[in-house]
């Protein structure tokens, strides 16, 4: 039979009449009508078949990724549940006698933090992802609150020999004495003694630059204080590219930056040169002792310190008011401008840290900024030094 437009119209009219006869509306669904005419089982069967067909994945869809479970300091796949440990390291280098360099154990740190303390010198805090990753490290030095505040949100163990009164004040106010080893008892704050050893380094340097610690010694101190060295982190210090997909942040379209100089003061400057073959920035430090930049080398293995990421945050920094002995205060609540260097390029962004127990965050127009997986140098720099900050292609 020939199908004509007229025949189609007639069939449509008959179909509409059937709907009305069975109590269905032409505005109702076809499935509702099927249920009334043929019964619910047949309609349900038809619906199930339709749902099954629509739920079939496309042939080209990617397999589901395993749950994200990254190392909190590097963004690589996690290999354990170690607690983050921050060790304070001396960085003075004013003369042959007042000299903490070369350092030991810093090439094993996942994040290295540098910031100015009193007397226009800078100090270092080396972050490790577990106690077993810590070799001999030092020279060990006293704690300062600008470093403590960066690891406090991560329930990290803070390890040092002594601390400023302002650091103890933070420990006391934020109830952090349980994870603070090597502190002082100001404000009746509980203390846990540190464990360390001395190396005279040939008798050339002053006694205060001869103290070192190590993973086994830190483990002993933690055991003495009944501090657990495991912690199940479900987020990372910075957002990192996804290790499950092999994602890489190339910063395409951003300005090239293959050399970087960060000045904390005239005599404490850190410089970095990008190495294309291994995709890292190699570190140098200015030495007031020699009057020139020298490679920052780990004395344990002779390796020059190298980082996949550099993060430079400018902040208001000044001495605490009153008779503070020039101990420096970082105004974290102010936030400010930040620079991320990775893969030979630079991205200008913003940083914020709204409270001591909240993490430092990097954003660009309100969106989180991701770092490449690997080791990171983090500098907290006085905004008064920003005019000396340089980077070049």
pLDDT tens digit at each of 393 positions of the chain? 444 433 333 344 333 333 333 333 333 443 443 344 334 443 334 444 444 444 444 445 778 999 999 999 999 999 999 999 999 999 999 999 999 999 999 999 999 999 999 999 999 999 999 999 999 999 999 999 999 999 999 999 999 999 999 999 999 999 999 999 999 999 999 999 999 999 999 999 999 999 999 999 999 999 999 999 999 999 999 999 999 999 999 999 999 999 999 999 999 999 999 999 999 999 999 999 999 999 999 999 999 999 999 999 999 999 999 999 999 999 999 999 999 999 999 999 999 999 999 999 999 999 999 999 999 999 999 999 999 999 999
Q: Could you check whether the bond before residue 139 is cis, i.e. omega within 30 degrees of 0?
A: yes
Q: How many residues does the chain have?
A: 393
Dihedral angle of Cα 252, 254, 258, 262, to the nearest 10 degrees = -140
Report d(CA 339, CA 229) in Å as an integer. Answer: 33
In whole angstroms, what is the distance from residue 17 CA to residue 12 CA?
9
Its pTM stands at 0.85
* Start-to-end Cα distance in the chain: 79
CA–CA–CA angle 146, 195, 97 (5° rounding): 70
Using CA atoms of 351, 353, 358, 362 in order, give the dihedral in degrees to the nearest 10.
0
Q: How far apart are CA 93 and CA 87, in angstroms?
A: 19
């Amino acid at each position: 039979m020939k199908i004509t437009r007229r025949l189609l119209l007639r069939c449509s009219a008959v179909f509409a009449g059937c709907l009305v006869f069975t109590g269905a509306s032409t505005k109702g669904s076809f499935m509702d009508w099927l249920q009334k005419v043929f019964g619910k089982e047949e309609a349900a069967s038809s619906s199930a078949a339709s749902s099954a067909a629509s739920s079939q994945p496309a042939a080209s869809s990617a397999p589901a990724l395993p749950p994200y479970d990254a190392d909190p300091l590097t963004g690589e796949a996690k290999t354990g549940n170690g607690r983050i440990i921050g060790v304070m390291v001396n960085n003075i280098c004013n003369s042959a006698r007042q000299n903490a360099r070369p350092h030991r154990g810093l090439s094993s740190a996942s994040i290295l933090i540098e910031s100015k303390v009193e007397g226009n010198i800078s100090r270092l805090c080396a972050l490790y992802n577990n106690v077993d990753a810590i070799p001999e490290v030092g020279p060990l030095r006293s704690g300062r609150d600008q470093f403590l505040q960066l690891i406090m949100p991560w329930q990290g163990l803070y390890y040092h020999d002594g601390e400023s009164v302002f650091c103890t004040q933070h420990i006391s106010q934020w109830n952090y004495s349980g994870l603070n080893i090597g502190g002082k008892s100001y404000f009746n704050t509980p203390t846990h003694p540190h464990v360390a050893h001395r190396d005279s380094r040939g008798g050339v340097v002053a006694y205060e630059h001869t103290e070192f610690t190590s993973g086994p010694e830190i483990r002993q101190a933690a055991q003495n204080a009944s501090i657990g060295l495991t912690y199940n982190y479900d987020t990372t210090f910075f957002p990192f590219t996804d290790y499950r997909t092999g994602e890489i942040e190339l910063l395409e379209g951003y300005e090239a930056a293959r050399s970087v100089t960060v000045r904390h003061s005239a005599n404490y400057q850190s410089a970095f040169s990008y190495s294309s073959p291994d995709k890292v920035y190699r570190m140098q430090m200015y030495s007031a002792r020699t009057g020139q930049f020298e490679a920052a080398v780990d004395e344990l293995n002779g390796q020059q310190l190298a980082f996949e990421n550099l993060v430079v945050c400018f902040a208001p920094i000044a001495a605490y008011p009153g008779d503070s002995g020039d101990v420096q205060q970082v105004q974290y609540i102010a936030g400010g401008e930040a620079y991320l260097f990775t893969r030979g390029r630079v991205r200008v962004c913003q940083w914020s840290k709204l409270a001591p127990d909240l993490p430092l965050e990097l954003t660009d127009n309100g969106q989180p900024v991701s770092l490449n997986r690997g080791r990171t140098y983090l500098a907290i720099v006085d905004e008064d030094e920003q005019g000396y900050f340089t980077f070049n292609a």
